[in-house]
Structure 1
Amino acid sequence: MSRYIKSRKHAVAPLAALAASLTFPVAHAADAPATADAGSTTAAAAASPYLPQVKIEGSAQSDYKADKSASSKLTQPLLETPKTISVIKKEVLREQGAVSLIEALQNTPGITMQLGENGNTSAGDTFQMRGFSASTSTFVDGIRDLGAVTRDVFNLEQIEVVKGPAGADTGRGASAGYINLITKLPQIDNSIDGTISVGDASRKRASVDVNQKVADNTAVRLNAVWQDNGVPGRSAIERKTYGVAPSIGFGLNTATRFFLYSQHVRQDGRPDGGLPAIGWPAYSVAAPAATASQLDKDRAAALAVAPKVDRDNFYGSYGDKEKVKADMVTAKLEMDLGGDTTVRNISRYGRTHMDRILTGIIGITAVDPTNRDTWTIARSRQGVDQTNEILANQTSLNTSFRTAGLKHDLSTGVELMYERQETLNFTTTGTIPAANLYNPNPNDALPMPVRNGSGNEGSTTTTAIYALDTLSVTDALKLTLGLRTEHYNVRTTTTAVATTGGLTATKFSAGKWITSWNAAALYKLAENGTAYVAAANSLTPPGSGNFVLSATGQQAGTADAQETKNYELGTKWDLLNKRLNLTAALYRSENDGVVSVDPITNLSTQGGKVRVQGIELAAVGQLTNFWQVTAGVQTMDAKALNQRAASTATNPNQVVTDGIRWTPKWSATVWTSYQWNDITVAGGVRHVAEQKRVVTVGQPAATGLGTLPDYTVVDLMGAYRVNKNVSLQLNVTNLFDKDYMSSLNNGGGRLVLGAPRAVTLMANIGF
């Protein structure tokens, strides 16, 4: 049976589209026509003002579930794509009140946050995926996105997380996969959506999404955001964000379409240098030497049993700052040539600049071991001025054709890209006073870092050609083959302050052709179920991630590229009349070419390896017509193979590494919602198992924490539709006020805590 629903396109109340569109077979039976099927639209639903006019053919539409990737490189439906792909749609983010990319990525397991080393704190979105760094594998509409920016989701239609090496898709450095952010673009309709939020820690946010048809095939769209907030539990931390994203589309719903769009974001805040790890379970203190004084022994004993510091302590200065300017301008042309053939060209210029002054914390001194009021912690002052630029052009062709009785779905193209990063260094002169450990004073006068003339400048030029082909051998059997070859050229200049005064410049360059591939076979076990086996690789050449080359080691221009290979066996099923998707995958990734030392000669080689393997399960879609879920669980067995550090005169034994930092053995996430008439309730649970910092054989943590403890966080949401244009939404994050750390630095002495319980009230407005 077919029915039509007439209403607005953009949901104003969370899950209003779901509640309005389909019959719940038991609780809402009274609302349905006597002849309605379980998958049919009810008369009550037809009166809802929250859905576009759509035609339902006996199945439900889900706000959570996507059936196809927005990437032109992935030509098949997700059910028939032999990769692990998670699609996080904007409807899920709205329900959760998620506003940043890091918050959005909590919807997929296997992603962990990272913190910088000792006095330095990583800026922007810094994370690992399946045990490998993925910070430089973020893309916007298929083009690499660089820069130390905390990405906001105000201009995103959805987020696509592709896991496992994907060099044939995106090129160098995709050891863990990649994250593709899909931008909102103009559509042929008129709509206005707005959101206003207030919450704990003086949080205030307003966003707007306006789409306007201006001619038969032309529309404009404007997305904008303003946010001014503190951080719950951290009263000294302030963050402001302003963003605007105008766009125009010509030729919409025709064979030739042209989009011109841009995004401009400004961030201004006070960065968080974190808290000392003292007092947390398993915190350790370096044992004093046998010849140490009794005072030093008493100090060590007192530090080992000291309590935690207050989570609101701030060890920096009110003069600390972090300012980010991020701009990008994009032009995209699409032409349908007929016969399932489309040509696309996309060009982009992007520039991100970060100016930061941060106070870090280092070592603790128990001045008087019997009086904690006298204890101090040393501070450092870090200045960073970094600029990233990117100029990219991609031309692609998608087509379908037959040869020798085989159908081909081909995606091929040429990519040209120039990337540049410049980092200017600072020096802090004068004495930096220590802070009181338990009662720091942000008003302390701290010397300002000043430019010293040193720094790094690097650029990478890439020319690539790729072809990704899916061959339909039979109606049930499909083979996927992908090949990408690219030439990259890295040039770096490191300027240092000479010991005799003045500056010295060291230049390095490296460049070569590298080739990435993938291969997969997929079999349709049923119309709604597939099984597949896949293999792929990715190459990470020296300097490709941080634009820095050196004379020796992994970053030497003469070093071989690290190669990561991934093997995956999986199955995907669409159940409940294609409303619910279930996926399962066994995966194994091996990274080869890590710098190690020979166990006999003690000389450096590239004989080290990293291996991560596990299982990933996911479910997304509708359990009933009014009940939706998105969930995932992933295990990671991470090992370092043949990795040793050289022995020295002071340490005659080689240090052997057998694990990988920040790789929990398992992690899981679930978010589910249910709508009853005008009321929606939702909730979620996030769990991350213990993450190791110390991964050397036989060497427990000498100081600080050796592990980041496991944690489980529960979130809740409730929404009420006031009328057809307004709904109110209340989000409570960390419902049980769990005290947990979200990240730990590599030294083990500094941590960042997860947010305590926080409440946000949101008004969603739509016309």
Structure 2
Amino acid sequence: MALPQISVEGARPENTLEGTTGLGRLPGRIMDIPQTIQVIPQEILQQQNVTTLEQALRNVPGVTSSAGEGNGGVSGDQLRIRGFNAQNDLYLDGLRDFGSYRRDAFTFEEVQALLGPSGVTFGSGSAGGVINVNSRVPHLGNSLNANVTGGLYGMVRGTADANYQMSPTSAFRLNIMGQSSTIPGRDLPSGERWGFAPSLAFGLGTDTTLTMEYLYYRYDEAADGGVPLVARPGTTIAHPVTENGVGRATWYGTQGDRDKSTVNRFTARVQHRANDWLTVYNDSRVGIQERFFSYSIPSCDATCTTRFFNGGGIPQYAFSGAGSPYTSQTWGAQNITTATARFFTGSLRHEATFGLDLWYEDFERNGYTYGADRTNYRGNLFSPDNSLNFAYTPSTAATATRASQTTQAALFASDRVWVTPEISAIGGLRWTRQQSDYQAYGGTNPTSTLNADNAFLDPRAALIWEPTANQTLYFSYAQSTFAPGSNWSTQPGQASVASTQLEPEQNQIFEVGGRANILEGRLGLSASVYQIEKNNATETDPVTGTTFSSGDVQRIRGIDLGVTGRITPAWLMNARYSYMDSETTSSLTPANVGQRVALVPDNAVSLWTSYDFNQGQPWNLQVGGGVVASSSIYTNASNTQEVPYTFSLDGFISHNINDNLQVRMNGYNLTDNRNYTSVFNNRAVMGAGRAVTMTLATSF
């Protein structure tokens, strides 16, 4: 007996537990999926006037940003989820988004954080979880939305989103964006970005749908290498120099410190409902990123530190050699074919998914080198000279040009079986084969090559009890594997003979959780308790970039609590709290045992709420706001370097002038707290100060 498939079109529910991930290989409501999942819906992205992925993820406790690895110069969206590197765990519509760059939100429909190892669903990596962005796609009906935003410190941004129905089953959509801005309260030069994304959809509302999207996106922004962390003489814990007298605005960059990227991306997705029990998906992507990147990494040696705290002369900083300029090109292609089948075997009901995942990524990086004038430069730690513009030339070092190619093929299958209408079990397995190749050459030096070839299995299992349609309780286990060579394209400094011989990192999670819909389904509640353990963990030297096995076993035990939806029709709420007890339980470095895992806050919370007064009336008002806060974090495994707590109070007020026109004012970091947006082993990047923006929005 086959089960009918019900397809419902319309606005996504404000209680995000009632929504779906939109991925064929992860079917069902989020309510029913045995994994912690947080969704930042479109309404909240609009209320917060989110412009980047990093800003959207402020709503997800436990997500931190890394400032860039040594000897690789990687920047862009470098995320850590629950303390684990998520550089390769960024997905767009379930497909890999190739390249390292700062993603703009002008095509975002919603942002999803799927927390915990997810090897069966997404493949290698995903120790702390993955981020998946659902993009805006064509729909039936016509619509036009446009926004113009202006703010302090010269911020100007404009976006437009137009959808046109071409026929009863086809539509065209166009998103465009342009922005010029600086960072409030900081001395960085201005930056610009712009992009456009046309998309077409055919077969809307039919059994076979084809969606095609092209993205062109370009930006040119100042690069920030952060401020150094120093320990007061006689103490053992280092903190950012901005915690001890250096001004928030301080930037140690030069005129040449820029991050310039151009992204071209084409995506095609097909969904075919073969019959009432089988649906097949085929998703493809080709992406190309070209980049120029250079930044200055300041360092403060022992003499500098002594003078900084005790006087006796001007504290002078130097530049690390790891910030040398480079150009790079990354291109990648991926195809995922998934089938979802719903059927019975005897009295047992099944929902099975199985498929094939193929992807290839090619990366090439060409380095440059500075002369002695930069190497020997010493600047005033309190008052850096940002007018400097050091000359550079093509490098002739043995690693002047670095290239890597990664090929991966995977088979995956998962089956959910209902023993009774209320009790079901999930079993899944993914087999992966990954080949990574690396070449380095320059000048008259011979070409050096590295190869890493690994095959591995990642399992998944869960037991689910749904006493009613509005209640879910589950126990789940999942694993993901991170193979040697996986970061050679994004962090080429990690390529070494030693890294090819490392055992793959394995990440396992045990999670117990529950969800409930209350208030007639308007509001969703979630709670989970989990343990993540990483075996065969690796570390990267902050200066050389060399990756080596630390022998560490890292464990995180946590509690996650969430609220999403509406308390009343006028009162929106989206909040989440995360407690993470992290510990290095075993290490080849005895001093690391018992220490907290780097970049994991003990406590983190995000809260956003809004209320509509007199909705639909001439004298209407929408008021809202929230906080993002997290406790201090250590930036290294030995817990000798610390970045303080983060706290940001944000708010907005808006008024609908009529059915088509809205004016909105947003305030950010209203308490003007010193917050750090990105951190690394020995430095931290200071965030923006207090800021205010005004937006005029129109919709038809």
The answer for the alignment partner of 1:313 in structure 2 is 250
Change in CA separation of 1:606 and 1:729 when aligned onto 2, cut-off 3 Å: closer
Q: Distance in 2 between matches of 1:308 and 1:122?
A: 29
The yes-or-no answer on 1:413 pairing with 2:361 is: no
The yes-or-no answer on 1:627 pairing with 2:560 is: no
| Paired residue type of 2:572 | Q
Contact 1:118 1:745 in 2 (8 A): no
The TM-score, its normalising length taken from structure 1, stands at 0.82
Change in CA separation of 1:424 and 1:194 when aligned onto 2, cut-off 3 Å: same
2:224 alignment partner, SS class:
coil
The answer for the alignment partner of 2:181 in structure 1 is 229
Q: Distance in 1 between matches of 2:564 and 2:169?
A: 34
Query: How far has the Cα of 1:268 moved from its partner?
Result: 0.6
| Paired residue type of 1:634 | S
The answer for the alignment partner of 1:574 in structure 2 is 517
Contact 1:736 1:757 in 2 (8 A): yes
**Matches for 1:621-660 after TM superposition, within 5 Å:** 621-645=565-589, 658-660=595-597
Query: How far has the Cα of 1:125 moved from its partner?
Result: 0.6
Query: How far has the Cα of 1:737 moved from its partner?
Result: 1.2
The answer for the alignment partner of 1:208 in structure 2 is 160
The yes-or-no answer on 1:116 pairing with 2:60 is: no
The yes-or-no answer on 1:495 pairing with 2:441 is: yes
Q: Distance in 2 between matches of 1:118 and 1:237?
A: 24
The answer for the alignment partner of 2:224 in structure 1 is 272
The answer for the alignment partner of 2:611 in structure 1 is 674
Q: Distance in 2 between matches of 1:519 and 1:631?
A: 28
**Matches for 1:519-530 after TM superposition, within 5 Å:** 519-530=461-472
Q: 2:671 aligns with which of 711, 730, 736?
A: 736
2:251 alignment partner, SS class:
coil
Change in CA separation of 1:120 and 1:347 when aligned onto 2, cut-off 3 Å: closer
Query: How far has the Cα of 1:368 moved from its partner?
Result: 7.8
Contact 2:229 2:241 in 1 (8 A): no
**Matches for 1:72-111 after TM superposition, within 5 Å:** 72-111=24-63
Cα displacement string for residues 490-526 of structure 1 (whole angstroms, at most 9, x for unaligned residues):
11113366xxxx2132212122321111000100133
- Say how many residue pairs are matched: 665
Query: How far has the Cα of 1:612 moved from its partner?
Result: 0.9
| Paired residue type of 2:280 | V
Q: 2:505 aligns with which of 544, 562, 572?
A: 562
The answer for the alignment partner of 2:418 in structure 1 is 472
Contact 1:418 1:462 in 2 (8 A): yes
Query: How far has the Cα of 1:82 moved from its partner?
Result: 0.6
Q: 2:232 aligns with which of 260, 269, 284?
A: 284
The answer for the alignment partner of 1:263 in structure 2 is 215
The answer for the alignment partner of 2:686 in structure 1 is 753
1:441 alignment partner, SS class:
coil
Q: Find the structure with the greater CA-based Rg.
A: 1
1:235 alignment partner, SS class:
coil
Change in CA separation of 1:306 and 1:192 when aligned onto 2, cut-off 3 Å: closer
Q: Bigger shift: 714-723 or 431-440?
A: 431-440
| Paired residue type of 1:735 | L
Change in CA separation of 1:445 and 1:176 when aligned onto 2, cut-off 3 Å: closer
Query: How far has the Cα of 1:446 moved from its partner?
Result: 2.2
The TM-score, its normalising length taken from structure 2, stands at 0.90
Q: Bigger shift: 427-436 or 259-268?
A: 427-436
Query: How far has the Cα of 1:231 moved from its partner?
Result: 0.6
Contact 2:16 2:30 in 1 (8 A): no
The answer for the alignment partner of 2:327 in structure 1 is 385
Change in CA separation of 1:644 and 1:61 when aligned onto 2, cut-off 3 Å: closer
2:68 alignment partner, SS class:
coil
Q: Bigger shift: 331-340 or 565-574?
A: 331-340
Cα displacement string for residues 56-96 of structure 1 (whole angstroms, at most 9, x for unaligned residues):
xxxx9527665222111121211111111111112111101
Query: How far has the Cα of 1:632 moved from its partner?
Result: 0.4
Cα displacement string for residues 281-328 of structure 1 (whole angstroms, at most 9, x for unaligned residues):
xx424899xxxxxxxxxxxxxx99995222223322223221101111
1:234 alignment partner, SS class:
coil
Q: 1:442 aligns with which of 386, 389, 408?
A: 386
1:236 alignment partner, SS class:
coil
Change in CA separation of 1:322 and 1:315 when aligned onto 2, cut-off 3 Å: same
Change in CA separation of 1:613 and 1:759 when aligned onto 2, cut-off 3 Å: same
Q: 1:252 aligns with which of 186, 190, 204?
A: 204
**Matches for 1:138-153 after TM superposition, within 5 Å:** 138-153=90-105
The answer for the alignment partner of 1:711 in structure 2 is 646
Q: Distance in 1 between matches of 2:164 and 2:592?
A: 63
Q: Distance in 2 between matches of 1:458 and 1:242?
A: 29
The answer for the alignment partner of 2:543 in structure 1 is none
The answer for the alignment partner of 2:532 in structure 1 is 589
| Paired residue type of 1:149 | Y
Q: Distance in 1 between matches of 2:66 and 2:283?
A: 32
Contact 2:113 2:131 in 1 (8 A): yes
Q: Bigger shift: 429-438 or 394-403?
A: 429-438
| Paired residue type of 1:570 | G
Q: Distance in 2 between matches of 1:605 and 1:231?
A: 38
Change in CA separation of 1:636 and 1:763 when aligned onto 2, cut-off 3 Å: same
Change in CA separation of 1:119 and 1:424 when aligned onto 2, cut-off 3 Å: closer
| Paired residue type of 1:680 | Q
| Paired residue type of 1:379 | F
**Matches for 1:310-389 after TM superposition, within 5 Å:** 310-363=247-300, 365=303, 374-380=314-320, 381-389=323-331
Query: How far has the Cα of 1:356 moved from its partner?
Result: 1.2
Query: How far has the Cα of 1:740 moved from its partner?
Result: 2.9
Change in CA separation of 1:741 and 1:330 when aligned onto 2, cut-off 3 Å: closer
Query: How far has the Cα of 1:444 moved from its partner?
Result: 2.8
Query: How far has the Cα of 1:550 moved from its partner?
Result: 5.0
The answer for the alignment partner of 2:369 in structure 1 is 427
Query: How far has the Cα of 1:411 moved from its partner?
Result: 1.6
Q: Distance in 2 between matches of 1:53 and 1:587?
A: 35
Cα displacement string for residues 179-229 of structure 1 (whole angstroms, at most 9, x for unaligned residues):
111111111110000111001111110011000011221110001111110
Cα displacement string for residues 223-282 of structure 1 (whole angstroms, at most 9, x for unaligned residues):
11111101101233322111110011111111121112111110111212223456xxxx
Q: Distance in 1 between matches of 2:242 and 2:331?
A: 49
2:324 alignment partner, SS class:
strand
Q: Distance in 1 between matches of 2:293 and 2:315?
A: 28
**Matches for 1:451-466 after TM superposition, within 5 Å:** 451-452=395-396, 454-466=400-412
Unaligned stretches of 5+ in structure 1?
Answer: 1-51, 289-302, 597-603, 646-652
Q: 1:62 aligns with which of 14, 26, 35?
A: 14
Change in CA separation of 1:265 and 1:612 when aligned onto 2, cut-off 3 Å: same
Query: How far has the Cα of 1:738 moved from its partner?
Result: 1.3
| Paired residue type of 1:284 | R
1:739 alignment partner, SS class:
coil
Q: Distance in 2 between matches of 1:739 and 1:512?
A: 44
Q: Distance in 2 between matches of 1:617 and 1:754?
A: 27
Cα displacement string for residues 569-594 of structure 1 (whole angstroms, at most 9, x for unaligned residues):
00110111111110100100111123
Q: Distance in 1 between matches of 2:64 and 2:294?
A: 25
Q: Distance in 1 between matches of 2:482 and 2:307?
A: 50
The yes-or-no answer on 1:764 pairing with 2:670 is: no
Contact 1:113 1:127 in 2 (8 A): yes
Change in CA separation of 1:372 and 1:192 when aligned onto 2, cut-off 3 Å: farther
| Paired residue type of 1:478 | S
| Paired residue type of 1:436 | N
Identical pairs, percent:
26
